[in-house]
Structure 1
Amino acid sequence: LLGRPLETAVDVHEPPPPDAAREDFSTLVARARAARPELALLGARAEATDREADMERAARRPQVGVNAAVMHEDNRYRASQDVAQVAVGVQWELFDGGIQRQRADAAAARARAARERQADTATLIELEVRREWLAVEEAAQRLATTGAAEAQADENLRVARDRYRNGVGTHTEVLDAEALRALTDSNHLNAHYDLHGARYRLKKAVGEL
């Protein structure tokens, strides 16, 4: 997926803050329908089976073949050493017991089944894109919420420290404020990484990874 040798050294960097741009769901679904290889494969199979059905139907019609050839023979006793030949053949099976019709119907049924599988796969892909799109939205909301909670925890810690310095608070209050600050910071970082992960999963669902 990365397109680089396995022995390449990995230099880990902190991911940048995610941008606030929101992609339209219908646009993502359209891109997924165009990029996902499953749909293209099923469509190609259906198209090939349609052509197979056409070929079977054509076998019930008159078959005409034309063959032309020019032969050269090194023979000095002949006036012309080049001989041209043209052959025309016609074959028409007036009755075959319905074999070709049944073969054509079977091929058409396989083509319909392939197109139905393609439609089902398109629906599943749309569902997958919607699930990952909602996951991105949820992670973005969590990031905003935890950011606000982090600011409140900073203010709570500042007040607890001021109270302790002025002798009106206890060290337990400061420790509780520190623990709350650490918890909100952890929640904010988790939301930050979850948003990045959700966006990569969305790219995979769209077919861009």
Structure 2
Amino acid sequence: MSKSAQWDQGDAVARAGAALLLLHREGISLPAAIALIWIAGVTMQKDNPRVPNISDIQQVLGLKTLSGASRLLANLADTEGPALVMSDRGVRGARSEAYFLTAKGRELVGRVVSVLTDGAVTEIDAYALSTFAQARFVDGIESKSLCKTDEDDEGLTLKVTVPDEATLVEMKSWTQEFLQGAARVTVENRCVTITFSDLADAVYFKLRWC
């Protein structure tokens, strides 16, 4: 390995250590830091606006129960403590509590990015509650429709075709976030079969996607 490559690796390790030290000095534990950075990453995705919920954080951290993720997020949201995230239950129809970074949280993550990149980042460009609602429901970021090809007599099983992989990912995310019950989704190429748990969910899905 060349001296230049060794220096680059050493510099990267030093920057990572400095970023972790910054979070430690702010009183942020490693699991909380992971949750904070992950929320930042998700809410920075402007092409597919969504926000993470407690279940997402539980899966990312590999926690056995939702209560562990709930306590961690409650601590990060404590207005008398870190106050780095905020939540809003049911963002315009969502059935799970969504989490955003506060201005303080965006500023802290910006400082972490500055340490890692040796650049001047004052605040990351992530959705806040108000800007998320604006992007998703007012500005109407485009979501493509699905083409219905078949439906059973009860209206609980629907077959559709999707135009591309991005739409399929968005559709799956939407079913998890907005439907009351669990929908079974089977994919074969661009042909998708969705089986709903009740008729209300099926109707809601068709109004949105077909």
Higher relative CO (Cα under 8 Å, sequence separation at least 6) belongs to: 1
Common fold, TM-score beyond 0.5? no
Structure number with the higher helix fraction is 1
Computing the radius of gyration from Cα coordinates, the structure with the larger value is 1
* TM-score, structure 2 normalization: 0.20
